Amino acid sequence: MTDNDEKYSSLNSEKNNITLVTFIGFQEHLVLNFLRTYLRNGVKEVMLFSSIPQRNATEGKSTIDREIREKAIKLIRDSSGEDVTIIVKEIENIWDFQDYYFQLSRKAVEDAIINLSAGPAVFSAAGMIWALEHGYRVSYSVEYHDDGKLVSSVFSLLDLRPYINSVFSTDNVDKMILSALKKGKSDTLQINRYINDITDYRISLRTVEIHLGKLNKLGIIDITKGRVNKLTFSQKWSKIGTPDRK
């Protein structure tokens, strides 16, 4: 199974509680490819942010924006019928960070995936902060160009929840375990020895096991069962990276 297969499988296994968020405009493929990637089982609604045509663009640009919006809505309806709610948010000033953040913050959603590639930088910044605050996921386009021409545009999903959990849901013992993993300690006994070597008090093997289970549930580490359990950072965590990543 490929990474994309795993991503789609994960989305399909969820309840209908996902809100997709994207900006409409700039480049059509960055909007439509995002929707094609994530318009699968589990999507409850789609929020489309758009400029107000007559105030923000020339007549030609307004026509392009309107056409992309119409194509996006048609794609949603063709893929999901009336099961998915479409919410259009028109922004008077597309460079107004506070307006984006206000519109996002007032919307209560259970889970969300935000397109960071389709809109202006201030939209992406507001979306990233909103995602970090609530533990939502973000997605961005990885593009390949050949001789100046776009060959492919594939959206990659970034789950921020393990990072948020590492900041707000870990204690000193958890942080020492993560430090041990970064130094190459890969089983419970090695981690236990490492912690006891760097602290003035003794921590039992059982305590380490309890904290490892917690970190696993938080999505920060993976535990591979075996005669000696192998401990590694989770794929989601590794994708984000850490400040001291080499």
Mean pLDDT (the chain) is 85
**Where does the pLDDT of residue 107 fall: very low under 50, low under 70, confident under 90, or very high at 90 and above?**
confident
Residue 22 has pLDDT above 60, yes or no: yes
Can you give the pLDDT at residue 185? 94
Same-domain check for residues 90 and 173: no
pLDDT tens readout for residues 133-158: 998 999 999 877 777 776 677 888 98
Residue 245, domain member (yes or no):
no
Picking from 159, 174, 199, the residue at the C-terminal end of a domain is 159
Can you give the pLDDT at residue 5? 38
CB 104 within 8 A of CB 126: yes
Same-domain check for residues 16 and 136: yes
Can you give the pLDDT at residue 223? 94
Residue 1 has pLDDT above 50, yes or no: no
Same-domain check for residues 57 and 135: yes
Picking from 135, 159, 183, the residue at the C-terminal end of a domain is 159
Same-domain check for residues 105 and 177: no
Can you give the pLDDT at residue 239? 82
**Where does the pLDDT of residue 13 fall: very low under 50, low under 70, confident under 90, or very high at 90 and above?**
very low
Q: Which has the higher per-residue pLDDT, 27 or 25?
A: 27
Same-domain check for residues 143 and 209: no
Same-domain check for residues 64 and 185: no
Picking from 108, 134, 159, the residue at the C-terminal end of a domain is 159
**Where does the pLDDT of residue 238 fall: very low under 50, low under 70, confident under 90, or very high at 90 and above?**
confident
Task: Give the chain's domain count.
Answer: 2
Can you give the pLDDT at residue 34? 94
Same-domain check for residues 151 and 168: no
Residue 104 has pLDDT above 60, yes or no: yes
CATH number, domain of 235, equals 1.10.10.10
Same-domain check for residues 172 and 145: no
Give the mean model confidence (pLDDT) for residues 30-58. Answer: 83
- Domain extent, residue 45, equals 3-159
**Where does the pLDDT of residue 27 fall: very low under 50, low under 70, confident under 90, or very high at 90 and above?**
confident
